[in-house]
Structure 1
Amino acid sequence: MTDLTKHIFSISNAHEFEQASLAIFNQQAENCQIYKEYLYHLRILAKDVTSLTQIPYLPISFFKTHEVLSSRNTPEIIFSSSGTTGMIQSKHLVTDVSVYEQSFNMAFEQFYGSVTNTCLLALLPSYLERDGSSLIYMVDALLNKSKHPDSGYFLHNHDELYLKLKKLQSTNQKTILIGVTYALLDFIEKYKVDFPELIVMETGGMKGKRKEMVREELHQLLQRGFGVQAIHSEYGMTELLSQAYSYGNGVFNCPPWMKIFLRDTNDPLSLSPNNKTGGINIIDLANVNSCSFIATQDLGKLFPDGSFEVLGRFDNADIRGCNLLVN
């Protein structure tokens, strides 16, 4: 891990974030071939980019068609997106997986505390049934850190999950249930749980198993089914090595090395002001060895404190495997 990479995870203010972003931009403008070509066609010279708001964002679709790399090292792992048959998958070539591990470990601890004494239950059948999922890589690592004997995966064994939830509630055990949306709905159609202290975290997406639902309707169903006051969410994707988290109401916050900007829906090279709907651009400094500046196909709203909401997707975008729900 380089000195620049280590600095990413010690960022504590906006000035440090901007300085790290500009340093990584200059490195990637020179060493990430597809980003370098993209800047060339935009007629943007790296030396002319002197502030955060001037940094151009690489369209996320390039992860489907090109190797997005700014390191000459051989990839240690390749993460791939899910998708229907015939759909081109995004591929994220990761040359230093320890950067990803530090990113998700630090972010999870920032938002939820140490996982060591937490019981972590994972209801992620569609992710478990394929290879290359960055979410499964993260959950595997968190499960290994959890010291609770009941932590683990559940595929379609809902009976066992129900019994474990009842047992965990009776012992006042801190418990997080992370699940793909359709599987959580399948579970509450068969079982009703009243576990107010349970943290239910949905990862978004119906994976073609059910019709999409607006977030409010979905969260109300899940709140009633699990007996909780709010539904947490995780916002991540194959092309990123960081995640944002929501404690409820669909409002996400980023860790210190990740930041959201909005672009104008009619002018993709211009940024939009807060409280307006725009395309979500992400700076993920953990992507130091690929590209840290990504223009996603999600639509969102940005708030003055840096938190954001995901409102849907551009009409002509592919349905991404970890797609969040249209609001």
Structure 2
Amino acid sequence: MALDAEILGVIEAWHRHGATLGDDAFNDLALRLFAYQLRYNEPYARYCEALGRTEPRSWEQIPAVPAAAFKEAALTTFDPMAAALVFETSGTTNGAGGLHYMETALLYDAALLAGFDRFVLAEGTRFRYFNLVPNPQEHPRSSLGYMMARVAERFGDGRAGFYVRDDELRIDAFTADVTTAIDQGRPVCIAATAFSLVALLDAMNVRDLTFALPRNSRVMQTGGFKGRSRVVDQDELGAAICDRFGVMRNDLVSEYGMTELSSQCYAIGTPAYAAPPWLRTRAVGPERITLPNGAIGALLHVDLANRSSCVAIQTEDLGIVTAAGLVLLGRDREAPLRGCSLGAEDLAKRETGRL
């Protein structure tokens, strides 16, 4: 498909040469993607028509579907039975998850690997990956599991492992394998959700374990505490990681992504997340008007790699857009309280701030 080739070209140009995507080029591609999705994504088209917003003049005017909409409809430009990838959202505390169908793995893989390579990898290091995320062999619809399996396959040393099974941490296997990597001088990348990192640190504390990870190692937090009763301050968590693993703050990576997106943002040694050039984020107010830099708003993403679903996604995350990047502030607790129906008038009312 011509659109896929064009998007892949943008990703490849940045990955290999650091090429940026200017405002006009981003705007043009985003509007053409929207027109394509308006034609072939029937639930999304009904939604846009209900809003009376089918002819945006800029990428900022493209109607964004709430992330919760993926729980209510198959938001695809193709027959979902033919999906190459299907990722399931974790849902919220008051409902089941949704499904993100992707027609091809090419765009997702290209965006994932390009971002990880440029933002996370250190001096071409081939890490040994220690993944405290769902094992894709057990949870094939986990985007986190798929992500880390692909990263390890492409950038690893061939000895990656998964250390969470049925929500239980395999601490003994983790300890033995990390010790082996240290003895071999092999830099490691520990990838885990915030909750899994806390569970790991608790287990290490009980056993009085500390490690001195080899130079250029990384500890990467891939998500927060959504749906969990225990929350730990990020500064406190970072200090504990540095203390237990013998790493510096600049070795800590935070990844921000969503099942509903195809691209990720990363922060290293700073609270500001950097995004690849084909992903742009706005902080918006109640009527989805773009707020100025530095203002707190709900985050709305336009991801050009989302060719076969929806290019614009309204999240339940609060944050600030700055010149340095995106600063996350947590979740809007009111956002998931109402259901989402793409054909319903209440969704159109919510879009314009009237609910």
TM-score interval, smaller chain: 0.7 to 0.9
Cross-structure match for 2:212: 194
Corresponding letter in the other structure for 1:8:
I
Cross-structure match for 2:240: 221
Aligned pair partner of 1:237 in 258, 278, 291: 258
Q: 1:214 to 1:317 in 2, by over 3 A?
A: farther
Q: Do structure 1's residue 109 and structure 2's residue 109 form an aligned pair?
A: no
Cross-structure match for 1:6: 5
Q: Do structure 1's residue 263 and structure 2's residue 284 form an aligned pair?
A: yes
Structure 2 portions without partners, runs of 5+: 11-19, 338-355
Where does 1:267-278 land on structure 2 (aligned, <5 Å)? Answer: 267=287, 269-278=288-297
Aligned pair partner of 2:62 in 48, 51, 55: 55
Q: 1:313 to 1:206 in 2, by over 3 A?
A: closer
Deviations along 1:272-309, one digit per CA (max 9) or x if unpaired, are 1111100000011111000010011100010124x101
Cross-structure match for 2:344: none
Q: 1:18 to 1:63 in 2, by over 3 A?
A: same
Q: Is the contact between residue 131 and residue 190 of structure 2 (CA under 8 Å) also seen in structure 1?
A: yes
Deviations along 1:60-94, one digit per CA (max 9) or x if unpaired, are 11111011012357222321112478722111111
Deviations along 1:227-286, one digit per CA (max 9) or x if unpaired, are 22222111111111111111133321111211111111x32x311111110000001111
Corresponding letter in the other structure for 1:32:
N
Q: Identity of aligned pairs, percent?
A: 26
Corresponding letter in the other structure for 2:141:
G
Name the CA distance, whole Å, in 1 between partners of 2:35 and 2:227. 40
3-state SS of paired residue (2:9): coil
Cross-structure match for 2:230: 211
Corresponding letter in the other structure for 1:52:
W
Cross-structure match for 1:92: 100
Q: Do structure 1's residue 168 and structure 2's residue 175 form an aligned pair?
A: no
Q: 1:277 to 1:209 in 2, by over 3 A?
A: closer
Compute the RMSD of aligned alpha carbons. Answer: 2.6
Name the CA distance, whole Å, in 1 between partners of 2:328 and 2:301. 13
Q: Do structure 1's residue 250 and structure 2's residue 293 form an aligned pair?
A: no
Q: Is the contact between residue 69 and residue 290 of structure 1 (CA under 8 Å) also seen in structure 2?
A: yes
Corresponding letter in the other structure for 1:236:
G
3-state SS of paired residue (1:17): helix
Q: CA deviation at 1:128?
A: 7.1
Q: Is the contact between residue 279 and residue 303 of structure 2 (CA under 8 Å) also seen in structure 1?
A: yes
How many residues align? The count is 313
Q: CA deviation at 1:173?
A: 2.6
Name the CA distance, whole Å, in 2 between partners of 1:183 and 1:113. 22
Q: Is the contact between residue 245 and residue 253 of structure 1 (CA under 8 Å) also seen in structure 2?
A: yes
Cross-structure match for 1:64: 71
Deviates more, 1:269-278 or 1:185-194: 185-194
Deviations along 1:148-204, one digit per CA (max 9) or x if unpaired, are 243222233323323433443444433211012222222223222233642100112
Corresponding letter in the other structure for 1:220:
A
Structure 1 portions without partners, runs of 5+: 320-327
Corresponding letter in the other structure for 2:194:
T
Name the CA distance, whole Å, in 2 between partners of 1:85 and 1:276. 28
Q: CA deviation at 1:53?
A: 2.2
Name the CA distance, whole Å, in 2 between partners of 1:273 and 1:101. 33
Aligned pair partner of 1:16 in 25, 38, 46: 25
Aligned pair partner of 2:329 in 311, 314, 317: 311
